[in-house]
Amino acid sequence: MTNITVNGKQHQIDADPNMPLLWVIRDIIGLTGTKYGCGVAQCGACVVHLNGEAVRSCVTKLSRVQAQQVVTIEGLSANNDHPVQLAWNEEQVPQCGYCHSGQIMSAAVLLRENPNPNDADIDAGMAGNICRCGTYQRIRKAIHSAAEMQRKGGASK
Amino acid sequence: MKKQGTNKSNYGSTLRAMAVIGLLLTVIGIMAFGVNNSDTPKVGAESPLPVVKKDSIASVKAFKQVYTVLTSARCMNCHPSGNIPLQGDDSHLHTMSPQRGIDGKGIYAMKCANCHQAINTPGLHTPPGNPNWHLPPANMKMVFQGRTPHQLAKQLIDPKQNGNKDFKKLIAHADDGLVLSGWNPGEGRTLPPMSYAAFKKAWITWLSTGAYAPKGK
């Protein structure tokens, strides 16, 4: 039995410790906002926060998250009002949307560690999240917009 | 007189007893030392430092072996000349261009441990693992890529460039977990050109014979 906390709620998971966290989140806990993309840590669609870091849940084993804090896209904010979420909506970033929970989770870490990123910082911080639709320009624009919201104090986090 | 004779007799007995105990302790000590020596050295175990006996020919010969390992993909890929690690047997730039960062552990959402787990991920060319996966930090890059044998040998023993490592720490670094992981690279990756044991032997030989750098630039 593995104890994990996902979005503030404790879960006891009866599964193989080698099961990828992504499977646990989607199939056992039932939170399907986090997506399966490549399965080998190459695309970023499955990014969640593990103790605040943007880990790829497809290669993160359940055993690694024993007694740790996991946050998924569903738990990033109480009312979908994290500045990155607000900016994503404002800039209408997604096209198909499949990669965007991962994009948003990565962008949230970027902005926490660098509240005022320039284009190069954004490119460096988001290089691990691939968007098949090619929405990179809007992603960059939304991150600038979210940074501005944070600076103005209009953001919840 | 009688009393004195008794004292002499007691004194003699004590001496004999001490001699026997001393002999026993010596035998036990030799046995313990012998048993200890027969053990296979454990990774990371404290072992006595080798005595330095300068020999420039043996030293340079050993370093040439060390150099082939350090410049193999398994070692060099995390000792790049730039701030992006290398990947694959052809040492191409790491896909996604993760960056070194100040501590060598990446930046923002692109930290090494976000993909690299404590152990290798199963599958061909999936992220190899180690609990301490990182590049050398920004203030001590310890570049292997592009270094000549002469340059690399000089760099390795320069405390200003090697993280302030002295002879003892350099010897101990051969047992570092991340160094060892070069010989457990995960599926689809070639091993360094010699065994770990042969590498460690060459490394210690190089250092203990004076850490001479091969001639050249």
Range(s) of chain A covered by CATH 1.10.150.120:
83-152
Residue B165 Cα distances to A29, A152, B102, B105, B160, angstroms: 49, 47, 20, 20, 9
Look at A53 and B113 and tell me if their CB atoms are within 8 Å: yes
Q: What is the pLDDT of residue B7?
A: 45
Range(s) of chain A covered by CATH 3.10.20.30:
2-74
Tokens of A4: 């994990």
**Contacts B102 to A, Cβ<8 Å:** none
Nearest CA-CA distance, residue B129 and chain A, Å: 11
Nearest CA-CA distance, residue A11 and chain B, Å: 22
Q: What is the dihedral of CA B58, B59, B60, B63, to 10 degrees?
A: 120
CATH 3.10.20.30, applies to A2-74: yes
Out of A106, A107, A124, closest to residue B99 by CB: A124
Nearest CA-CA distance, residue A57 and chain B, Å: 9
Beta strands in chain B (DSSP E): 86-87, 92-93, 106-107, 110-111
**What CA–CA distance (Å, rounded) separates A2 from A4?**
6
**What CA–CA distance (Å, rounded) separates A18 from A79?**
33
Helix (H) / strand (E) containing B23: helix B2-38
Residue B126 Cα distances to B32, B48, B120, angstroms: 46, 39, 8
A104-146 pLDDT tens trace: 999 999 999 999 999 999 999 999 999 999 999 999 999 999 9
Chains A, B: CB contacts within 8 A come to 68
* Residue that is written with structure tokens 């990371």 in the block: B44
Mean pLDDT of chain B: 85
Residue A2 Cα distances to A12, A19, B173, B174, angstroms: 6, 11, 36, 36
Evaluate if residue B60 carries a pLDDT over 90.
Answer: yes
How is B141-187 classified by DSSP, letter by letter?
----TT--HHHHHHHHH-TTTTTS--HHHHHHHTT-HHHHGGGS--T
What phi, psi does A152 have (nearest 5°)? Answer: -80, -5
B63-105 pLDDT tens trace: 999 999 999 999 999 999 999 999 999 999 999 999 999 999 9
Nearest CA-CA distance, residue A123 and chain B, Å: 10
Q: What is the pLDDT of residue B51?
A: 83
Look at A42 and B108 and tell me if their CB atoms are within 8 Å: no
Task: Say whether residue A143 is in contact with chain B using an 8 A CB cutoff.
Answer: no
| Mean pLDDT on A93-109 | 98
**Which chain B residue has its CA at the smallest distance from A107's CA?**
B109
**What CA–CA distance (Å, rounded) separates A108 from B179?**
34
What phi, psi does A71 have (nearest 5°)? Answer: -125, 130
Which of B97, B114, B116 to mutate to probe the A interface, most A CBs <10 Å?
A: B114
Look at B97 and A109 and tell me if their CB atoms are within 8 Å: no
B102-143 pLDDT tens trace: 999 999 999 999 999 999 999 999 999 999 999 999 999 999
Assign domain A83-152 to its CATH superfamily.
Answer: [2Fe-2S]-binding domain (1.10.150.120)
Out of A42, A59, A113, closest to residue B108 by CB: A113
Q: Are A104 and A88 in contact (CB under 8 A)?
A: yes
Residues 66-95 of A with CB under 8 A from B: none
Sign of the alpha-carbon torsion through B32, B33, B34, B39 = positive
Out of B113, B117, B126, closest to residue A40 by CB: B126
Look at B127 and A126 and tell me if their CB atoms are within 8 Å: no
Angle of helix A136-152 relative to helix A83-90, nearest 10 degrees, comes to: 130
Residue B162 Cα distances to B68, B166, B174, angstroms: 19, 9, 14
First vs last C-alpha separation in chain A: 33
**What CA–CA distance (Å, rounded) separates A143 from B140?**
32
Predicted ipTM beyond 0.90:
yes
**What CA–CA distance (Å, rounded) separates B69 from B63?**
10
Look at B126 and A53 and tell me if their CB atoms are within 8 Å: no
**β-bridge partners, A55:** A48
Q: Model confidence at B3, in pLDDT bands (50, 70, 90)?
A: very low
Look at B114 and A53 and tell me if their CB atoms are within 8 Å: yes
Helix (H) / strand (E) containing A71: strand A69-71
